[in-house]
Structure 1
């Protein structure tokens, strides 16, 4: 794991660092601490990361300026903040967890477990997906996403208007963040269930989901029974 702590209070940063080292142990490859927004923005842009632990108040600078950029990247983001009233907004932007200050080791470990076990967040409230486009961050409302296709380390977002966008997160990471209205129907596809029009059985015991926009998406054989039950 390559982890970045973005926290302006040295005492809290050292506590997070100590707990992080204890929890991850030998699986921790690198752990860096940055205390300013601008330095963090540069570091995120130029380094390979698996996880960012982010405070939302950085010497008076708004951590959401980093959060908007961070959630468009391949790694997960966990917010550690005393501003509990901002938790809903943070989840809407696609953070994996929000750990309120003051926190204990148990609560931090619970957040870390989600990065290890790849379980879905209990607070699936993501409303937008941030993507990098032409050097800028663009926010795509989740209501405009029809289905998601895995493309190696990246994913392709297929939108209701027929366009397609690229996201830096893997399919597995997006699956953790997307609401339960999306289902993993195939090893390479996540589909919004409200967009499913019909489920077809093709020759050779192959299954296909026909969407309202006319697209046909393969359904994994092991997923067919569950999918049909949920769709009906």
Structure 2
């Protein structure tokens, strides 16, 4: 994993780094510490990352200015902050976890383990998916998303108004962040269950979910019984 720690207090940054190395061990390919918002944004733009550990107060600068940029990236973001009242907003923006300061190794390990498991976020409160537009970021309300299609390392968000937006996160990472209202029906699709109009069995044991907008989504053979049960 390629990891970036964004923390302005050297003592805390060293503690986070030491614990992270102990917990993830050989799973770490690179681990970088940066203590300013500007440098962190530049580093994110020019490097491939798997995880950002982010403080929300950086020498008086608001880490939320970076959070929308971070959550639009292909990597997961874990916030480590003393500002517990900001946890709800952080989850709404799409962070994987919020570790309140002061923290112990057990709590950090719990958060780090989520990055390598299929476990969903600590709170499935993601309300927005941040997408990169030319020279700006756009927050797409999750309630506007009908289904999500995997497109290699990226995903395509299909919205209620008929528009399609590209997201830098993989389908697996979005599945971790989104609530159970979205189901992984197929290796390439995440679908909002409330949008399913009908489940259809076709010849050759092919299963399809017809959405309210008429779109047909394939259902994996191993997922059919589970999806059928949840839909009914």
Tell me the residue number matched to 1:25.
25
Q: Is the CA contact 2:184–2:191 (under 8 Å) kept in the aligned structure 1?
A: yes
1:15 aligns with 2:15: yes
Tell me the residue number matched to 2:147.
147
Give the drift of 1:40.
0.6
1:116 aligns with 2:116: yes
Tell me the residue number matched to 2:231.
231
Distance in 2 (alpha carbons) for counterparts of 1:201 and 1:180: 24
- What per-residue deviation string (whole Å, max 9, x for no partner) do you get for residues 56-115 of structure 1? 000110001111000000000000000000000000000000000000001000000000
Tell me the residue number matched to 2:216.
216
1:4 aligns with 2:26: no
- Aligned residues between the structures: 232
SS of the equivalent of 2:15 reads helix
Q: Is the CA contact 2:90–2:98 (under 8 Å) kept in the aligned structure 1?
A: yes
1:182 aligns with 2:197: no
* Structure 1 stretches lacking a partner, 5+ long: none
Q: Is the CA contact 2:68–2:130 (under 8 Å) kept in the aligned structure 1?
A: yes
Tell me the residue number matched to 1:101.
101
Tell me the residue number matched to 2:34.
34
Distance in 2 (alpha carbons) for counterparts of 1:144 and 1:202: 29
The within-5 A match list for 1:62-73 is 62-73=62-73
1:200 aligns with 2:200: yes
TM-score normalised to structure 2 length:
0.99
SS of the equivalent of 2:95 reads coil
SS of the equivalent of 1:12 reads helix
Distance in 1 (alpha carbons) for counterparts of 2:36 and 2:168: 24
* Structure 2 stretches lacking a partner, 5+ long: none
Runs of 4+ in 1 over 6 A off after TM superposition: none
Distance in 2 (alpha carbons) for counterparts of 1:46 and 1:66: 15
SS of the equivalent of 1:118 reads coil
TM-score normalised to structure 1 length:
0.99
Give the drift of 1:117.
1.2
Give the drift of 1:41.
0.7
Q: Is the CA contact 2:96–2:122 (under 8 Å) kept in the aligned structure 1?
A: no
SS of the equivalent of 2:162 reads coil
